[in-house]
Structure 1
Amino acid sequence: MQNNDYHIPGQLKAAILIGFTLLSLACIPLIMQLRFDFDFEKFFPEGDEDLEFFLEFIEDFETDDNFLLIAFTAPEGTIFDSTYLRRVADFAESARAFPYVDRVLSLPDIRLPYRTPFGIGSRPLVHLDQPERFQEDSTLIFSSDRFRGRLLDERAASSLVFIKTIDNLTIDQSGELLEIIRSEIEKSDLEDWHGLGRAFFQVEISRSQLVELIRSTIISGILVSIILFFLFRRWNVVLISLVSIAISLLLFLGFLSITGRELSVMAALYPVIMIIVGTSDVIHITTKYLDEISRGRKPDSAVYATVKEIGVATLMTSVTTAIGFASLLTSRIAPIREFGVNAAAGVLIAYITVVLFTTIWLSLTPTSRLLRDDRGRYFWYNAMNWLYSFSLKRTRAIWGVGGLVIVVCVIGITQITTNYKIEENLPRGEKVTEDFHFFEEHYFGFRPFEIAVTYMDDLGVNNYRALEEINRLEMHFREYEDIRSVSSPAALYRLLYQFSRGDLMGEEEFPPEEETFQELERFSRLARALEPNVLTSPDGMRARISANISDVGADSIQTISNSIMDFVDREMDLERADFRITGTGLIIDKNAQYVRENLIQGLGLAVLLVSILMMVLFRQPLMLLAGLLPNLFPLIFAAALLGWFGIELEAGVSIVFAIVFGIAVDDSIHFLAKYRLVRGRGYGVEESLIRTFRETGKALCLTTVVLFFGFLVLLFSQNPPSFTVGLLISSTLISALAFDLLMIPSILRWVERRSGK
């Protein structure tokens, strides 16, 4: 038999096996140095003008997420309990000495100014040691919304401690601060508590990602082991495959550590992708090797034939998969770009490992321990014959159904929305998610909503006319049910005016006359002690209207924003000041717009690069139709699933299309490469097609089964974006296989007729 005397030196085999083993062992300590990172700022769209404005804006003020909210539920059902209030006050006092803390505010800290015949005095909002005055205190607190929803809930069943931290806490600083906070809470005997803020999100989500990474690796490994055993029925083959996949995963994680990468919120996808891609390569290589061995080839010759025929095709599929991931480089979001680059590198690492390590180990394993009986071969032989016959006799029906699927998918695509919500990205069943819902329900929530006012005259904000205008805008905010806890410089003067009249329980009003305003100006410092936010810039030329808004979704918030800006255009003096919505919420929400743009750009670039590779590989322009057209159907199907299931198109979900395109093209290249190889041996079109079905069709079905169940592992994820990615990709891969096996043959027949062959 041709090339049956091919020989690979034993020293080379030993060097490859030992080299990969030592490299993988060396990666273990490096992997222990990998760090998780969850930083909101990294999800800001780079190069955005609103982002540039926001970064300039916070230089005059502060970031809008530099806080921690800790709510303590009163054990007696009401906060008006001396023991409870004293414990809250003691905790707040201790918190002032915590590292990275700038300011602490709690209900017992509040003192209200009032006018006396002898000047300005003050009284506590809550009389801790005078329970007989609690009814009076309660009436005062609930007479306005200044404190309700901010420092206590509507039922007075809990109160919170507001902790203002330094800007841009790192994850290490957050971890240190939370450890101290938890320790102090244990000492305080305040058992039922809830936390919200940047530090909680950073630490808890990073911890959740670590658990997710370990869980997905274990479940994927077990599932792949079971599938490989049912496919090959030989534990030796399963062992070789699993060790190869494990080595590729270790090398990949070691690569991330050496290159200084940090694991982001999408890190849980890495083990799944590496295991699945590695398994796919192993199946193609191992299946071909065993076929060659069963035909009587010697091990080294079988390795040569496998690498020559399948190795080249697998290289092309690895490159196209890497291109699919690399298309994410068009994203403006840094973690998405990093994920694309890392995943692309992982695909190539898996290929190199399988082609070198797996094939050498297979060649050193006795043939009797690799081959199984032929009972399964007849099933695949008959199944592939049936598929070939169906594609030949039902061509019109296949394309008719394909057209109908497109129509139905277009209907689904029209229902896609980008109404991104924070809660949809929080891990299910975790305390951080439970606490987020607690604050959304009982307090003003987490999501910030800001308007920056920049003055263009010499007067700035500290004058009656400017603040009266801000007051009208703030009153307009109250018309929106979802906007809560509004703070502005005008609010301070409403409070002072109320106290100056001695009417602590009356309705807050802005001073009706400039003369009254001027009288209150000298007492404004007292009112600012009640407001934790910085609301005017040091030079007085900028003001800030700060609020919180319910987590109703990016599109819904955009509707509210448009309505507010319409009011600004009608009612505000735009010649004196510029009004602009800003804040982290706006910046994150703009990702929805860029996701759509970058998705089209990235896929367009990927299609172009894959087209070039196919031209180099097949050297026939019409073959591009067979390679690309069937792979557009899975993309359309994936998009339709978003609309049908009501899944929001956001940054984490957008990676689905890169993965689907990369993997779908793999199947096409394997099929076309085998067809071209058989055709080159002088066989006719139909004979080449049926041989391609029998050999490559089986491998495509097997790899799709592995991919399907592999991504299905993500359904166990607590992270909603990972769950969605698993659901979409698993569903779409089945459609990709069907489109490839049913449409490519009819396209090839048409291409061959056009070329006169």
Structure 2
Amino acid sequence: MIKWINTRFWSSVARLILRNRIAILLLITGITVFLGMQWENMRFSYTEANLLPDNHPVNVEYNKFLDIFGEEGNLIILGVKDSSLFTPENFNAWNRLSKRFNAKPEVDAVISTENLKKLIKDEESQSFVLENLVTGELKTQEEVDEIKNELFNNLPFYESLLFNDEQTIRTAVYLDKEIVNTLTRKNFIYGEVLPLIEKFEEETGLDLRVSGMPYIRTLNSQNIVDEISLFIGAALLITSLIFFFFFRSFRATVISMVVVIIGVMWAFGILGLLHYEITVLTALIPPLIIVIGIPNCIFFINKYQQEIKKHGNQAKSLQRVISKIGNATLMTNVTTAAGFATFIITESKLLKEFGIVASINIIAIFILSLLIIPIIYSYMALPKQKHLNHLNKRWIGGFVNWMENTVRHHRVAVYITSVSLLVLSIIGIYQIRISGSLIEDMPQGADFFKDIRFFEEEFDGIMPLEILIDTKRKNGVTKLSTLKRMDKFEELIIETPELSKPMSIVSLAKYSRQAYFGGLAKNYTLPTSNENNWILAYAGKSKSDTNLLKSFVDSTGRYARITTFMKDIGTDKMERIEENLQNKIDNTFKDKYDVTVTGKALVFLKGTKYLVDNLVMSLSLAIFLISLFMAYLFRSFRMILVSLVPNLLPLLITAGMMGFLGVPIKPSTILVFSIAFGISVDDTIHFLAKYRQELRSNHWKIRKSVYAALRETGVSMFYTSIVLFFGFSVFMISSFGGTVALGGLVSATLLFAMLANLLLLPSLLLSLERSIANKRVLKEPNFRILPEKENRKLSELTKKDTSD
């Protein structure tokens, strides 16, 4: 900030605002209308949150895989675990459901019992042909039993894809890859998939389970959309109720609501203007603006009413509100914005967009508060006595007296409590775990989440993990040596309980041998060298559908994929699995092949670890930026250290709570520290700014200044902290676990921060007054009390006075 932001500057700002009230209101209206027009550019994200930078090696490998095999997350899975499915009526209904899906233009392919193909050796043409397992409607129970026996006993190729050992049946619906990350996917899920599922359940009475990444992403995204309005409504309700409880004034409450509602409109408009997608993070910004904007209103309105109570002069009151509170509130909003802006330095697009929009809107809500509140009050009559009664409430006075008594007589107890909490927090920090689960934060009460758990239990997971194999030569995949290496590698996947049975060209090769030797399940093994030549000869003459082969091998035969599905596991387990897989790759494929482990699940897990690695950097930057603000305000290195202590301690306490409560570090909870630090330091600035003013007024009498600052700022700090506490608690009504944790942890941190700033900070100032808070250290305060001679009428302030 620059040095001319002082009393003279803010006095000029006050005159400018009060003399141009109508022009400013018209300007705000124009900006609001313009940003409202940008709402049409808002769009919701149709892809998973990619937390890694585009140039990160994990992203590079994943994009290479997509270039070769296309979008991997295009599979919707339907499943039934019920013996009554194997009756003619229900089994026919199950097959009809597959036909209905296959008829949709949005569907690329369906693999089900209805169109399941058996690979048959044709002696006459010396080739393989595909025959349908089911031909037409089944009329008798014997026909159904025959199909069932054939499926479970003679077709191991389809195990894990269409059935499991528990005789759970499922259908694989592959969407057109072009629509997977578009609005068409959402329309298809809600317009076609859900009605077809409902109709099937009505016809059969069976419980049809549905999962797969396109389905999960669509329903999860809709939950995010639904919760935006829920959060905004709840935040407005709870903050307005608390505000009214404190001020007992309808007009003060309405004015505050007008400010934050315009702020929310601007937030949506800025999202649209920048063409940013609404994600699980940016969806939090509108309610955040409400929660952060209300404390601004509290400081402005509380100061206005205090001034009115002192002297009853509206003009001087409004000018002092802008001049005295404007400067301090600017600093607090800048520090809060800085806490969010630290996310901009990360190379994660998701966090960068969140940081940009949040920091812009925090400054915007400050500007709106600074302009709207004084202007509206300038057109109103002076507050009545009943509107000022809250300033004299006994319980508030009792709270202030308790704080002062604690600081005056029980500083040792404050220090012992602080150190004890610090020690406990350090113990808890060592118990924190890191989670990179893709589904952990999803609403666990939702039906689709229960279906995720169902498929995890029945088929060992639904999150795809891919192994890309580059043989470095054309048709290298079909070499028997390659198939044997892949088969050996797949043994490790089968032995890993967190991974499902793999699917690859190896399974197709085994199925070919089974078909060649009469279709017996015992022949489902890789061919020998001699057998491979005969089988390849048959395969070369086959004119059967090659969709399955295309799914596992690229058109040149150079690249192969092994697809497995992973359970919902944490980062620690995933790192162990990845290490085991890499060791097996090194031992099996040597240097003859390039083998890469990739897939959506791995990308997300790596993204979580990337964020954790960058947490210290972003938080350190936030501390550095806020230290610069402190340096400007107080021009004392020792004062900076003292002011940081009551803000870092709450963060450590919160981290300790996460360890003791089992709340992991993950993309949602990782935001807690930067957000809470940026907001909690506001109280420190307000307190120290007032303390600096009192020092000059009281001729550098330390103790008198500390107690005066505590009495003056304690009420506003208490009000704002309570609003912030309950405001962030709104997020705890979310169905998303990460949002619940974010709301609870930030609320707790801000509560601890309030107590630290009202008890620990004054105690430190008093205990260290000789070395820190003396005239030599604090000789140039940047906050000054306005001269009492500023006592002009409102009509004089609002006139154009060229003599100024």
Task: Output the TM-score relative to the length of structure 1.
Answer: 0.93
Larger mean CA deviation between 348-357 and 411-420 belongs to: 411-420
- The aligned residue for residue 85 of structure 1 is 91
Does the 8 Å contact 1:317/1:665 carry over to 2? yes
Shift of 1:215: 0.9
Aligned equivalent of 1:284: 299
Judge which range, 211-220 or 495-504, deviates more: 495-504
Q: Which amino acid aligns with 1:240?
A: I
- My pick for the range that moved more, 274-283 or 498-507, is 498-507
Match for residue 115 of structure 2?
Answer: 109
Q: Residue 732 in 1 paired to residue 752 in 2?
A: no
Equivalent residue of 2:317, what SS?
A: helix
For 2:565, the aligned partner's letter is N
Which residue matches 1:129?
Answer: 138
Which stretch shows the higher mean deviation, 475-484 or 310-319?
475-484
Q: Report what 2:4 is aligned to.
A: none
Please state if 1:330 is matched with 2:351.
no
User: How far apart are 1:347 and its partner, in Å?
Assistant: 0.8
Whole-Å separation in 2 of the counterparts to 1:687 and 1:11: 38
| Total equivalences in the alignment | 750
Q: 1:449 to 1:456 in 2, by over 3 A?
A: same
The answer to whether 1:471 aligns with 2:487 is yes
- Which residue in the other structure is 1:253 paired with? 268
Deviation at residue 172 of structure 1 after TM alignment = 0.9
CA contact (8 A) 1:385 1:693 kept: no
Q: Which moved more, 1:20-29 or 1:260-269?
A: 20-29
Distance in 1 (CA, whole Å) between partners of 2:210 and 2:145 is 28
> Retained in 2: the 8 A contact 1:536–1:543?
yes
Q: Work out whether 1:13 is the aligned partner of 2:21.
A: yes
Q: 1:401 aligns with which of 407, 411, 417?
A: 417
* Matched residue type, 1:140: E
Aligned residues of 1:85 and 1:108 also touching (Cα < 8 A): no
- Give the aligned partner of residue 3 of structure 2: none
Query: What CA distance in whole angstroms lies between the structure 1 residues aligned with 2:420 and 2:561?
Result: 54
Distance 1:167 1:65, change over 3 A: farther
Report deviation, 1:633. Answer: 0.8
Deviations 1:675-731 (A, max 9, x none): 011112225111111111111111111111001111111111112211111111111
CA deviations over 1:627-651 (Å, ceiling 9, x no partner): 2122111111222222122122111
Query: Which position in structure 2 is the counterpart of 1:431?
Result: 447
Give the corresponding residue for 1:693: 710
| Structure 1 partner of 2:361 | 346
Q: Secondary structure at the match of 1:653?
A: coil
Counterpart of 1:445? 461
Task: Select between 278-287 and 78-87 the one with higher mean Cα deviation.
Answer: 78-87
Alignment of 1:663-682 (within 5 A): 663-681=679-697, 682=699
Query: How far apart are residue 660 of structure 1 and its match?
Result: 0.5
Shift of 1:459: 6.9
Segment drifting more, 368-377 vs 733-742: 368-377
Quote how far apart the aligned CAs of 1:599 are.
0.8
Contact kept? 1:37, 1:202, Cα under 8 Å: no
CA distance in 1, matches of 2:15, 2:473: 85
Cα distance between partner residues in 2 of 1:604 and 1:355: 30
The gaps in structure 1 that reach 5 residues or longer are none
Change (3 A) 1:523 1:609: farther
Deviates more, 1:522-531 or 1:398-407: 522-531
Q: Judging changes above 3 Å, is the alpha-carbon distance between structure 1 residues 42 and 654 closer, same or farther for their aligned structure 2 residues?
A: same
Tell me which residue corresponds to 2:209.
Answer: 194
1:552 aligns with 2:569: yes
Name the stretch that deviates more: 297-306 or 194-203.
194-203
- What amino acid maps onto 1:137 in structure 2? I
1:386 positional shift = 2.9
Per-residue CA deviation, residues 362-415 of structure 1 (Å, 9 max, x unaligned), is 233222447332674444334323312322333333222222211111111111
TM-superposition CA deviations, 1:400-457 (whole Å, max 9, x none): 2222211111111111111332331212433332332332233453211121222246
Superposed displacement of residue 41, structure 1: 5.8
Q: Deviations over 1:274-322 (max 9, x none)?
A: 1111111011111111111100141121111122222111100100000
Equivalent of residue 36 in structure 1, options 37, 41, 44: 44
2:726 corresponds to which of 702, 709, 715: 709
* Higher alpha-carbon deviation: 26-35 or 233-242: 26-35
The answer for the alignment partner of 1:481 in structure 2 is 497
Alpha-carbon distance in 2 for matches of 1:749, 1:508:
82
> Amino acid of the residue matched to residue 147 of structure 1?
Y
**How does 1:61-210 map onto structure 2 within 5 Å?**
61-71=69-79, 77-115=83-121, 117-118=123-124, 119=126, 120=128, 122-126=130-134, 128-129=137-138, 131=140, 132-143=142-153, 145-152=156-163, 154-156=165-167, 158-167=169-178, 169-178=180-189, 179-184=191-196, 189=203, 192-210=207-225
- Percent identical residues: 25
- Partners of 1:368 and 1:460 in 2: CA distance: 85
Deviations 1:240-279, CA, capped at 9 Å, x for gaps: 1122221222222222222322211224422321111111
Segments of structure 2 that go 5 or more residues without pairing to the other structure are 1-7, 776-804
**What residue identity is the alignment partner of 2:114?**
P
Alignment partners' CA distance in 2, 1:116 and 1:457:
31
CA distance in 2, matches of 1:636, 1:508: 58
Q: Bigger CA drift: 17-26 or 197-206?
A: 17-26
SS of the equivalent of 2:470 reads: strand
| Equivalent residue runs for 1:739-754 within 5 Å | 739-750=756-767, 752-754=769-771
SS, match of residue 163 in structure 2: coil
Deviation at 1:7, TM superposition (A): 6.9
Note closer, same or farther for the CA distance 1:28–1:580 as it changes in structure 2 (3 Å cut).
closer
CA contact (8 A) 1:62 1:534 kept: no
- Structure 1 range deviating more: 104-113 or 661-670: 104-113
1:52-82 residue CA offsets vs partner (Å, 9 max, x unmatched): 02211221222321222233677xx433233
What is the CA distance between 1:158 and its match in structure 2?
4.3
8 Å Cα contact 1:104-1:163 kept in structure 2: yes
For 1:203-222, list aligned pairs within 5 A. Answer: 203-222=218-237
Q: Is the 8 A contact 1:150 1:444 kept in 2?
A: no
Instruction: State TM-score, norm by structure 2.
Output: 0.87
The aligned amino acid for 1:71 is G
What's the counterpart of residue 801 of structure 2? none
Distance 2:143 2:120 in 1: 18
**Aligned with 1:40: secondary structure?**
coil
Aligned partners of 1:729 and 1:237: how far apart in 2?
Answer: 27
Cα distance in 2 between the residues matched to 1:126 and 1:675: 84
- Work out the CA distance in 2 between the residues paired with 1:527 and 1:596: 50
CA distance in structure 1 between the partners assigned to 2:617 and 2:452 by the alignment: 35
Q: Comparing 626-635 with 112-121, which one deviates more in the overlay?
A: 112-121
Higher mean C-alpha deviation, range 147-156 or range 717-726: 147-156
**Residue aligning to 2:781:** none
* Structure 1 contact 482–549 (Cα < 8 Å) conserved: yes
